[in-house]
Amino acid sequence: MSSQPNNAVTCQQLAPALVPSVESTDWMPGGPLPAALETGHKSIDFEHRQLLACMIAARSICDDFRGYRNCSGCIEARRALCENELVRLLGDLLSFILDHFKTEEEIMRDSLLIMVDRDLCEAHMEDHAAISSKIQQIVASLESHNTVNLLRELDGLLGRWINHHVALHDMMLMRWVERDDSALKTPLSP
């Protein structure tokens, strides 16, 4: 016999429909998020716009990050410039994700989702840890002749984050927060 009341909202009901992939090139910095990524939570959506801007910035570091096999064809000054830009971007990204993941994990606790569906929250937090770990691996692999490969790796990671983590974990979290009986939903004024 289930311990949930009949009117309880299950996470299965909150699961997002499959969303199409979102290309960062479809998005203009400062513009609205693509509909597939719009959570309705002001600070989370702002942070997701920052994530898209980071992806665009990473793509602009190299003249042809998709075409170059490695950086050996570039002059030393250009390799150093690209590597320095990637180091700066990775530093900003690590700082950003620590704050962003902290915000989301606070929402999990404050909304009581962690008490209702611990497995879901743990999977979400494990995804946060995997993203952080992958960025740290990229940092550990820095080498001036390999910058373009690291840019492609970072682009793939950010793309997966945008198209899978946001669309699955973040949307589910926001659906939980926005349900009628949510602990975080602000009551309407009379």
Q: pLDDT confidence of 13, banded at 50, 70, 90?
A: very low
> What pLDDT does 186 receive?
52
Question: For 82-104, what is each residue's pLDDT tens digit?
Answer: 999 999 999 999 999 999 999 99
Tell whether the model's pLDDT for residue 61 goes beyond 70. yes
Domain 40-178 fold is: Four Helix Bundle (Hemerythrin (Met), subunit A) (1.20.120)
Q: What CA–CA distance (Å, rounded) separates 120 from 111?
A: 13
> What pLDDT does 142 receive?
93
Mean pLDDT for the stretch of residues 146-173: 90
| Domain residue limits, the chain | 40-178
Q: pLDDT confidence of 52, banded at 50, 70, 90?
A: confident
Instruction: Calculate the alpha carbon distances from 179 to 80, 91, 92, 174 in Å.
Output: 50, 36, 34, 9
> What pLDDT does 12 receive?
31
Greater pLDDT, 70 or 164: 70
Measured in whole angstroms, how far is the alpha carbon of residue 93 from the centre of its chain?
10
Mean pLDDT for the stretch of residues 135-157: 94
Tell whether the model's pLDDT for residue 18 goes beyond 50. no
How large a percentage of the chain has pLDDT more than 70? 79
Q: What CA–CA distance (Å, rounded) separates 76 from 74?
A: 6
Q: What CA–CA distance (Å, rounded) separates 158 from 16?
A: 20
